[in-house]
Amino acid sequence: MIDIRFPDGRTKAYEAGVTPEMIAGDISSGLKKKTVAAFVDGALYDRNRPIEQSATIELITQDQEEAFEVLNHSTAHLMAQAVRRIYGDALFGVGPPIEEGFYYDIATEATIRQEDLPAIEAMMRQIVQEKIEMYREELTREEALKRFEGDAYKTELILELPEDEPISIYTQGEFVDLCRGGHIGNTGHIKHFKLLSVAGAYWRGKSENTMLQRIYGTSWFSREALENHLAVLEDRKARDHRKLGKELKIFELNQEAGQGLALWLPNGYTIRKVLEDYVYNLERRAGYKHVSTPVLGTKKLYEISGHFAHYQENMFPLMSRDGEEFVLRPMSCPHHMIIYKSELRSYRDLPLRLAEIVIMHRYEASGALSGLERVRAMTLTDSHIFVRKDQIKEEALAAYKLILQAISDLGLKIDYVELALRDNEKGKFHDNDQLWDEAEAMLKALLVEENIEHREVKGEAAFYGPKIDIQVRTAMNHVITMSTVQLDFLLPERFDLTYIGQDGEKHRPVVIHRGLISTWERLMSILLEQYKGAFPTWLAPVQVKVLPVNIDSHRAYADALNERFLDEDFRSELDARPEKLGYRIREAQTLKIPYQIVIGDQEVADQTVTYRRYGEKAQTTVPLEDFVALMHQVIRDKS
């Protein structure tokens, strides 16, 4: 007999070899039905894995986050078995659960297309009906290599595992896979799933490796949950910024112009200019000084800063002219160090807050490019704040609060805050332990003292210092670093930056790197998807569309209205084309223009305005001055 201890402290004796499923059934049939797996002494156990010695158990039920991972991990194996039955030569890379489902990388001579997925699903349902048990087995490295002889992918993975540790495999009928485990125990427990898409993926994510075929899918515990998720996915298709950007004439990506090089169309440039003015005024009120620096810099400049050594792979190739070597800058930090150094500074001059809308270039592999989310030319809302040590907390906090204001004004929400620290990987970070310890302690203290909830992540710091990253979850469920506050003791050393202290001696400033609201490109992708293209009035490229019913008899008043709106600094357009009114209204709706104004006989006679807001059916007629006041209020409120 063995003793099983439960989370509430109770202990019960069972026969050795009892499974989590059996233990759940011993408590109640309802719990047995809901149990997916268990933590046994902290280790993840399959639903049907025998427990051979006394242990503490925590059952994992369907309402827990880990249960979704177990279900999707098991569904990945189910799909792999179905693929093997259909494509007999199929070999498999990795098939992990992911946040909203699973995928499996597959090597087969056949090309698997989207239209092939229903046949794979049908085979999966057949295997579900067969109710096949999933058995775990532990092998030595030699036994595992023999079992997967001829499978180059599994062999490569096995050879990377510790030689003296047991290797687990799972047998599911005729299908056997190398796997760490965490399974639902029987294919009959997997009922509500959908295969979503097929894509190419390099083995282990490296472009020099074989291209495999990756099938994505999702699995849920109820039909309702699956259908709700599929509805969300359909909504995301409608929100895709690449689709909306084309429909609303915001930007263009063209192979002839260059991959990852966005062309801003008039509507897109208008939004970008509104954002630029907003950021400029926000920063100006917060005491920032704006500068402009070139997109080029010398190689020497980036060698001094250390960026060339750490980021060379992400930079475009060197350019050589007249004995000088230049780079397209991947960031503005070195230029701002030179600006600081351009004159003698006193302790009274600090803090010095330099800000710039920075055009940068970073080389992204073609496979990593994704609309405006991942590009090769980008424009960043950047800043470098030069401070004395006694000013670090106040200025870092002020930068953080400015970020919060900008994110709020844009109608976005923070998903979580991350404190990125260094790890022990040599060469990845500068090697002054004293500076690192001091910088990390300061940022940690700031977050704790201000009660800012955060998670610590080792190894994600910048090479020069720790950072606070603000993560936003987009409407497409992508987690994106929106903003950052970084503490840097290193670059002032490298550039020999100083200020004259109160004691008349030279002292070293500290630099706070601050990214306000990401790049224009990434921000535009987020906003397009957040608002589904229907921008709030203050951001909309066209705020008002004036539509005369009769081009001849109503044109004069429509012209006068449009001119008045332009004088009020509204982005107004007159549509007096010889097209039917219904056609012009539908086009304004398609372009998601916030206010559409229809001018007919009554409006001309009464000198009024009849408007309809985008997304609403009701029309409202008001005096002209009331409409002008309404527009100013809506724009001022950023609604």
Average pLDDT over every residue of 275-289: 96
Contact 525, 372 (CB under 8 A): yes
Residue 254 resides in a domain: no
Could you check whether the bond before residue 266 is cis, i.e. omega within 30 degrees of 0? no
Does the structure show a pLDDT above 80 at 462? no
Which CATH number goes with the domain that contains 11? 3.10.20.30
**Residues 6+ away with beta carbon under 8 Å from 203:** 93, 105, 153, 209, 210, 211, 212
Using one digit for the tens of pLDDT, what is the confidence trace for 67-100? Answer: 999 999 999 999 999 999 999 899 999 989 998 9
**Residues 6+ away with beta carbon under 8 Å from 235:** none
Are 6 and 44 members of one domain? yes
Residue 125 resides in a domain: yes
Average pLDDT over every residue of 582-587: 92
Distances (CA, A) of 484 to 54, 435, 471, 537, 543: 48, 20, 9, 28, 32
Which CATH number goes with the domain that contains 488? 3.30.930.10
Are 443 and 404 members of one domain? yes
Structure tokens at 402: 């400015």
Residue 353 resides in a domain: yes
What confidence score (pLDDT) does residue 223 get?
96
Are 524 and 575 members of one domain? no
Q: Which residue among 61, 79, 104 closes a domain?
A: 61
Structure tokens at 460: 């994600």
**CA-to-CA distance for 194 and 561, rounded, in angstroms?**
54
Contact 508, 492 (CB under 8 A): yes
Are 361 and 446 members of one domain? yes
Does the structure show a pLDDT above 90 at 347? yes
- pLDDT mean across residues, the chain: 92
Residue 539 resides in a domain: no
Q: How many helices (H) and strands (E) does the chain have?
A: 20, 33
Structure tokens at 558: 């429509």
What confidence score (pLDDT) does residue 427 get?
59
Are 235 and 173 members of one domain? yes
Nearest CA-CA partner of 511 in 577, 449, 464, 447: 464
Are 194 and 341 members of one domain? no
Using one digit for the tens of pLDDT, what is the confidence trace for 350-406? Answer: 999 999 999 999 988 877 788 898 899 999 999 999 999 999 999 999 999 999 999
Residue by residue, what is the 3-state secondary structure of 5-46? ECCCCCEEEECCCECHHHHHHHHCHHHHHHEEEEEECCEEEE
What confidence score (pLDDT) does residue 442 get?
86
Are 152 and 191 members of one domain? yes
Residue 309 resides in a domain: no
Does the structure show a pLDDT above 90 at 554? yes
**Chain Cα centroid distance, residue 194:** 24
**CA-to-CA distance for 530 and 476, rounded, in angstroms?**
9
Residue 129 resides in a domain: yes
**CA-to-CA distance for 72 and 218, rounded, in angstroms?**
7
Structure tokens at 576: 């007096």
3-state class (DSSP) for residue 105: strand
Written as one string, the DSSP assignment of 379-413 is: EEEEEEEEE-GGGHHHHHHHHHHHHHHHHHHTT--
Q: Which residue has the tokens 């990506």?
A: 253
Q: Which domain holds residue 10?
A: 2-61
Average pLDDT over every residue of 255-278: 94
**CA-to-CA distance for 561 and 236, rounded, in angstroms?**
38
Average pLDDT over every residue of 488-501: 93
Longest dimension (CA), the chain: 96
The partner residues of 233 in beta bridges, in order of sequence, read: none
Written as one string, the DSSP assignment of 288-350 is: -EE----SEEEHHHHHHHSHHHHHGGGSPPPEEETTEEEEE-S-SHHHHHHHHHTS--BGGG-
Are 107 and 219 members of one domain? yes
The CA-CA-CA angle for residues 296, 299, 303, to 5°, reads 125
What confidence score (pLDDT) does residue 425 get?
67
Structure tokens at 534: 């229907």
Contact 37, 20 (CB under 8 A): yes
Structure tokens at 536: 């709030």
Average pLDDT over every residue of 288-294: 96
Average pLDDT over every residue of 231-252: 93
What confidence score (pLDDT) does residue 429 get?
67
**CA-to-CA distance for 365 and 353, rounded, in angstroms?**
34
Structure tokens at 242: 């690449």
Angle at which helices 223-239 and 520-531 pack, to 10 degrees? Answer: 130
**CA-to-CA distance for 33 and 122, rounded, in angstroms?**
25
Are 222 and 341 members of one domain? no
Angle at which helices 392-409 and 266-285 pack, to 10 degrees? Answer: 140
Q: In what order do the strands lie in the sheet with 377-387?
A: 289-290, 352-361, 377-387, 510-519, 479-488, 467-473, 414-421, 455-458
Please return the burial class of 150, using the count of CB atoms within 10 Å of its CB with bins 0-12, 13-18 and 19+.
exposed
Residue 250 resides in a domain: no
Does the structure show a pLDDT above 60 at 44? yes
**Residues 6+ away with beta carbon under 8 Å from 96:** 73, 76, 102, 103
Are 280 and 385 members of one domain? yes
Using one digit for the tens of pLDDT, what is the confidence trace for 519-541? Answer: 999 999 999 999 999 999 999 99
Written as one string, the DSSP assignment of 233-276 is: HHHHHHH-HHHHHHHTT-EE--TTT-TT--EE-HHHHHHHHHHH
pTM: 0.82
- How many residues are listed for the chain in this entry? 639
Contact 365, 375 (CB under 8 A): no
Residue 498 resides in a domain: yes
Does the structure show a pLDDT above 60 at 182? yes
Contact 83, 120 (CB under 8 A): yes
Structure tokens at 34: 């809901």
Q: Which residue has the tokens 């990756």?
A: 214
Q: Which residue among 531, 560, 587 closes a domain?
A: 531
Average pLDDT over every residue of 264-272: 96
**CA-to-CA distance for 189 and 220, rounded, in angstroms?**
11
Which CATH number goes with the domain that contains 579? 3.40.50.800
39 φ, ψ (degrees, to nearest 5): -100, 120
The CA-CA-CA angle for residues 294, 297, 300, to 5°, reads 155
Are 399 and 487 members of one domain? yes
Nearest CA-CA partner of 519 in 381, 423, 390: 381
Residue 153 confidence class, pLDDT cut points 50, 70, 90: very high
Using one digit for the tens of pLDDT, what is the confidence trace for 402-436? Answer: 999 999 999 998 999 998 888 876 556 666 778 78
Distances (CA, A) of 410 to 286, 381, 472: 18, 14, 12
Structure tokens at 588: 């304004």
Average pLDDT over every residue of 211-235: 95
What confidence score (pLDDT) does residue 426 get?
57
Percent of the chain at pLDDT exceeding 90: 75
Are 203 and 102 members of one domain? yes
The number of domains in the chain is: 4
Q: Which residue among 501, 531, 561 closes a domain?
A: 531
Q: Residue 111 gets which letter from DSSP?
A: P
Contact 598, 585 (CB under 8 A): yes
Highest mean pLDDT among 155-164, 213-222, 315-324: 213-222
Which CATH number goes with the domain that contains 135? 3.30.980.10
Using one digit for the tens of pLDDT, what is the confidence trace for 187-200? Answer: 999 999 999 999 99
Contact 385, 352 (CB under 8 A): yes
Looking at per-residue pLDDT, the higher value among 558 and 457 belongs to 558
Using one digit for the tens of pLDDT, what is the confidence trace for 601-612? Answer: 999 999 999 999
The CA-CA-CA angle for residues 116, 119, 125, to 5°, reads 145
What confidence score (pLDDT) does residue 216 get?
97
**Chain Cα centroid distance, residue 388:** 34
What confidence score (pLDDT) does residue 23 get?
93
Residue 460 confidence class, pLDDT cut points 50, 70, 90: confident
